[in-house]
A and B are shown apart, each in its own frame.
Chain A
Amino acid sequence: MTTTLPAYDEVVARYEPVIGLETHVELGTNTKMFCGCPTDFGGEPNTRVCPVCLGLPGSLPVANKAAIEATIRIGLALNCSIAQWCRFARKNYFYPDMPKDFQISQYDEPLCSEGYLDVEVGGELVRIGIERVHLEEDTGKTLHVGGATGRIHGATESLVDYNRAGIALVEIVTKPVPGTGALAPEVARAYVTELRDVLRSLGVSDVRMEEGSLRCDVNTSLNLPGEEWGTRTETKNVNSLRSVERAVRSEMLRQASVLDAGGRIIQETRHFQEDTGETRPGRSKETATDYRYFPEPDLVPLAPDTAWVAELKAALPELPRLHRRRLQEQWGLSDLDMQSVLNAGAVELIEQTVAAGATPAAARKWWLGELSRRANETGVELADIGATPAQVAELQVLVDAGKLNDKLARTVLEGVVAGEGSPTEIMTNRGLEVVSDTGALTAAVDEAIAANPDIADKIRSGKVAAAGALVGAVMKTTRGQADAKTVRELVLERLGAQG
C-alpha cells in the first residue's frame, strides 16, 4: 500500500472500531498435555518426544490433570462458567508440524465460557467479555531453509522440531469489543497486560511473549457510526504488549484508508511487522478450510467435580487489579505515583522488597530511582536487572544502620547488579563502609583544618557556612566513606563554632 495513511484523529472521528483478541497461553505444567514428556523451553530438537507426542501409529493420548486444573482456574479468574461435562475434539488438517495431522482441541464444548475481565484504561474500567477458554495441544515448529524468506515458499528443505508438540495450550477468546473509539489500541494492550498479570498471579504460565508462551492474535474492524460492524481482519505475529497496541492502531489506519478510497476489507489473516509497525497479508488460502471437527474418541469426556471446582474457586489469588489497589493504599501512593510504579513494572518488586523488610518509601526509591535508570540505560526489564528484592532490602538495612550513606549505597548497588554478591559482601570486600571511628575522623578533620587555615579562621569568626569546604575536604580524604553530618559536627566542634 503506497497511499498515505490518514491521520489517526480523523479515522476515529469517522469510524468506530471493534476489536477482539485471541490469546494462546502455554501452560507451565511439568509435562505435555497428553504424554509424560518434559516441557522446558530449549533443548536439542526432537529430544523431548515420545510415541504419543510424535503421533506414532498406535499411540494414545492421556489428558494431563494439572493442565485441566490450570484451565479451570483461568476460567474462574475470568469469571467464566465451568462446563460440568465437555469433550475434546479433533481439528483435522494436514501440516507437518502436527504429528497426527489433527490437533486435539475443543470445539463446541469449551471447558470455560461466558466470562469477563475488567481492565483499567485512563482511570476508567472497561469490561472485556470472554467468549471461551479452552484447552488444546501445541504444534511443533517448522523451519524452512534454503529460501530467501524463511517461508515454506522457495525453501529447499523443511525441518521439523517436535519438542513443542503436545505442550498444553490454553486459548482465551474475547467477545467482540465495540465502543472504545480512539482508545481501542490502548484497550487491547490493557487487556493483554491485565490478562498476563492474571495468568502470572495464578502461576499457570511464565507468560513470556518473546518466548512465545503468550501469543496474541488481534481482530480489528471498522464501521461507520450507526452501521453494522465491518469485516474483520486477524493480525498474527504480535509478540509484545507494545505490538498489540501498534497492531490495532496500524490496522485501523490501513482499513480506514481502504474504506476511504471506496474499497472493501477482505476477511484475512495478516502479519504484524515489528520493524515497520504495519500489517501485511498472510498467504491467502485458496480454499476455505473445513476442519471436520468431531469429538475425540481416544479421550473420555471431562466432567470436573463441582466440589473440586468450588475448592479451586475459593483458593484463587486476589485479582491483580484489586491487589494493586490494596498495595496503593498500603503504600500511601497517589494515583499518579502508583501509575509510575506500574509503568516501571515495579509493583511486584516493591511488594517483595517490602516483604523482605524495607519500608515502602525506601523500596520505591531504589526500584524507581537508581535501578530503573540503569534498566533504561541497558535496555533490560527492571525484573531482569540483576538485583533481587531481598538484596535491595538488605541494602536499605545497611543504610538505616548508618553503615552506608546514599552515595556508598549506590556504589554497592552497582556491585549487586554486576553480580558481585550480597550488599554486605560487596561493602566488606570493597571496603565501602562508612568511617564511624571518631578518632580517625578527628584526625582527618584536624588535617583539613591545618591545610586550610584561611577557611578555619572564617569559621572561627562565625562564618559557619564556610564549613562545607572543610567537610568536602574530609570526605575526599576518606573517599566518601564518612558520614557528612558527623564530619560537619566535628569541624564546628574543633573550631569552637556553633552549628
Chain B
Amino acid sequence: MSDLTRMTATEIAGLVAGGETSAVEVTRAHLDRIAAVDDRVHAFLHVDSEGALAAAREVDDRRAAGEELGPLAGVPVAVKDVLTTKGVPTTVGSRILEGWRPPYDSTIVQRLRAAGTVMLGKTNMDEFAMGSSTEYSAYGPSHNPWDLARIPGGSGGGSAAALAAYEAPLAIGSDTGGSIRQPGAVTGTVGAKPTYGGTSRYGLVAFSSSLDTPGPCARTVLDAALLHQVIGGHDPRDSTSIPQPVPDVVAAARLGATGDLTGVRLGIVSELVGEGAEPGVMAAFRESVDALAKLGAEIVEVSCPNFRYALPAYYLIAPSECSSNLARFDGVRFGLRVGDDGNRSLEEVMSLTREAGFGPEVKRRIMLGTYALSSGYYEAYYGQAQKVRTLITRDFTAAFDRVDALISPTTPFVAFPIGSRTSDPYQMYLADLYTIPTNLYGGPGISVPCGLSEGLPVGLQIMAPTMADDRMYRVAAALESAVGTFTPPAL
C-alpha cells in the first residue's frame, strides 16, 4: 500500500469502504506521521491517540458487521482547539483553559463522530482565535511546512499546517475574520468559511458570536466539500443556525471538477486587488483569473466601495463581542484560578486569574471592546460599526445582482517569517484585509491554492451569496482542475 498519509480523504474513505485498508491502519499511519514531524511543525496541542484508535476500531467493526458507512468513515480529522470535545482537553490556545476537559461535545464534533471520522486531536491556534499567525498561541507557534521558519497563518494555523504536513487529510477550523481561509492560502491548502448559520456554533468557544463560523479544511476542494456536507446543517441548539439543508456542495465540487465554467460570471473586487498586495501574490492571482476565463467564466470588475471600512468596523464589532464573551473566564467555575489563597477578595482573584490567563492580544481586544461598548461611546463606535456592516452587506447584494461570485486574492502576502509582525498589531491585522468583508456580510468564502510566489503558496478567494455555498465550490473545483494542487518540500 502506498503512503496513506499522502492520500485524499476521498481516496482513504474508498479504501476503507472497500476493505483494502482498515480505519485502524489509516489512523496508525497518521499518528506515526504526527510522531515523526510534529515536534517541528507543532500543529497539534493535544494528540488523542487512544481515542482515535478506539474510534477507528469502531468503524472497522461496523464495516465488519456489514453496516453501511458514511462517505468519510475511517478518515482521520484534526480539530481546531476552539471546539469542545467531551473529556478531551480544549484550551482555545489559552492558558486560562489549560487542563479543561469539557463535559460535552460541540455539535460539529458530534457530527464528525456520527459520520465515522476519526479525531486525531486538537490543533494549535492563536489564543481565542485572535490572530493571523498562531504566534499568539499560549503554547507557542505552529510552523509552516513550506518553510518552518514561517507562519502557517492564523488563527487556524495548526489545522492548515497539519494538512500541509500530511499529519491529517481533513481538519476543522473556525473563521471569524479569515481564520480558515488565510491559513489555507499560506499553506497551499483549501479552507472554506460556510455561510454564517450554515454550520453550528454550539460548542465553539466564542470569540465574536455574530462572525464566528466553523468550517472545513482539506487538501482538495472535493474533500472540503465532503467535510462541509458532514458538519453542516441546522442545529436547534444554535439559535442563529439556518433551518435549511446544506446546499449540495459535493455535487457542486464534482461539477466544477469537470473544468467547465461556461455561463458563470465572476467579479473581481476592485477594492481587494492591488493596494497592499505583494506583486508575487498579484501575479499568481492574475494568472488564475486567466485560467478561470479559459474555463469559460466571464470575468468582470466590480466595485464594493464600503469594503475599505471593513477592517475598522471589524475591529470594533469583534472586540466588543469578545469583551462580553470572554467575561466568563473568571476562575470561578472552570479553568485557571490564580491567587485564591484565602486572603484575597473575589474581585482580586478574578483580576489575577485574567491577568495571568490571557495573553497580550486577547487583553488588547477585551480593552478595545470594553471601551467601544461603554456608555457614551457606544453609538460612536459599536453603533457606527454596525451601520458600516449594513453598508458592506448592501455592497455584496448589489454585486451579486451582477455576478455569480466574487473573487480576490485570499490574503495580501505569502507566509511571513515568524516574529516579523508581532510587534505591530496593525501589520498583523492586514493579513485579514481581504477576508473580513465576507464575515461582516455573513456569506460563504473559500480559499483555494492558485500558484506560488517565491516558492510559497498563494490562495485565491471565492465569495458567494449567503446559502449559495455550492456556487463557490464549483468555481474552486474548476480552478483546482486547471492549476492543480501544490506539494510542499519534504520535511
Chain A positions within 8 Å of B, measured between CB atoms, are 51, 54-63, 90, 92, 94, 96, 99-102, 152, 156, 158, 160, 290, 292-294, 297-300
Contact = CB atoms under 8 A, between A and B. Distances in A.
Given A92-B324, A96-B346, A99-B328, A60 B90 contact: no
B375 interface: yes
Nearest to B197: A300
A94 to B, nearest CB: 6
Contacts of B44: none
B172 to A, nearest CB: 13
Contact of B327 (A61, A63, A92): A92
B155 interface: no
B97 A57 contact: yes
Contacts of B281: none
B203 A58 contact: yes
Nearest to B211: A297
Given A96-B332, A102-B324, A294-B373, 7 more contacts: A56-B103, A58-B90, A60-B238, A96-B330, A99-B328, A292-B324, A292-B378
A142 to B, nearest CB: 9
Contact of A51 (B103, B239, B373): B103
Nearest to A299: B239
27 contacts: A51-B103, A55-B328, A56-B102, A56-B334, A57-B84, A57-B206, A58-B84, A58-B102, A60-B239, A90-B324, A92-B323, A92-B324, A96-B330, A96-B346, A100-B327, A102-B324, A152-B346, A158-B346, A290-B374, A294-B378, A294-B382, A297-B321, A298-B209, A298-B239, A298-B240, A299-B240, A300-B239
B42 interface: no
A292 B374 contact: yes
Given A51-B103, A55-B333, A294-B373, A102 B327 contact: yes
Given A57-B90, A57-B92, A58-B106, A297 B202 contact: no
Contacts of B201: 60
A49 to B, nearest CB: 10
B455 to A, nearest CB: 39
B84 to A, nearest CB: 4
A58 B346 contact: no
Given A294-B382, A298-B209, A62 B97 contact: no
A60 B202 contact: yes
B98 to A, nearest CB: 13
Interface of B: 83-84, 90, 92, 97, 100, 102-104, 106, 201-206, 208-210, 236-240, 320-321, 323-324, 327-330, 332-334, 342, 346-347, 350, 370, 373-375, 378, 382
A105 B274 CA distance: 46
A297 B209 contact: yes
Contacts of B327: 92, 94, 100-102
Query: 5 closest Cβ contacts across the A-B interface?
Result: A101-B327, A297-B209, A292-B373, A297-B210, A58-B203
A100 B205 CA distance: 13
User: Looking at chain B's contact residues, is the secondary structure mostly helix, strand, loop, or mixed?
Assistant: loop
Contact of A58 (B206, B321, B323): B206
Contacts of A99: 328, 333
A300 B240 contact: yes
Nearest to B235: A60
B346 A59 contact: no
B185 to A, nearest CB: 27
Contact of A100 (B83, B106, B328, B350): B328
Contacts of B333: 54-56, 99
Q: Residue among A60, A99, A100, A300 with the most chain B CB within 10 A?
A: A60
Contacts of B350: 94
A57 B334 contact: yes
A320 to B, nearest CB: 36
Contacts of A297: 208-210, 240, 321
A293 B83 CA distance: 27
Nearest to B94: A57
Contacts of A290: 374-375
Contacts of A160: 332
Nearest to A156: B342
A57 B102 contact: yes
Contacts of B90: 57-58
A405 B268 CA distance: 98
B155 to A, nearest CB: 16
Nearest to B331: A96
A474 to B, nearest CB: 76
Given A55-B328, A96-B346, A61 B239 contact: yes
B198 to A, nearest CB: 15
A320 B268 CA distance: 67
B139 to A, nearest CB: 17
A60 B102 CA distance: 14
A490 B346 CA distance: 85
Q: Residue among A58, A94, A101 with the most chain B CB within 10 A?
A: A58
Nearest to A61: B239
A9 to B, nearest CB: 43
B375 A58 contact: no
A154 to B, nearest CB: 11
Contacts of A294: 320-321, 324, 373, 378, 382
A90 B97 CA distance: 23
A61 B327 CA distance: 16
Contacts of A102: 324, 327
B119 to A, nearest CB: 16
Contact of B203 (A59, A63, A158, A299): A59
Contact of B330 (A51, A62, A101, A299): A101
A158 B327 CA distance: 19
Contacts of A292: 323-324, 370, 373-375, 378
Q: Residue among B104, B333, B350 with the most chain A CB within 10 A?
A: B333
A59 B205 CA distance: 8
Contacts of B236: 62
Contacts of A92: 323-324, 327, 373
A100 B329 CA distance: 8
A102 B328 CA distance: 8
Contacts of B329: 57
Q: Residue among A94, A100, A158 with the most chain B CB within 10 A?
A: A94
Nearest to A144: B346
Contact of B328 (A101, A298, A299, A300): A101
A285 B90 CA distance: 37
A221 B84 CA distance: 51
B209 A51 contact: no
Nearest to A291: B375
A94 B330 contact: yes
B83 A58 contact: yes
Given A99-B333, A297-B209, A59 B202 contact: yes
Contacts of A90: 324
A449 B241 CA distance: 93
A99 B327 CA distance: 10
Given A51-B103, A297-B210, A57 B205 contact: yes
A206 to B, nearest CB: 28
A102 B435 CA distance: 30
A56 B395 CA distance: 37
A92 B329 CA distance: 13
B40 to A, nearest CB: 30
Q: Residue among B332, B334, B370, B375 with the most chain A CB within 10 A?
A: B332
Contacts of B382: 294
A354 B172 CA distance: 67
Contacts of B334: 56-57
Contacts of B202: 58-60
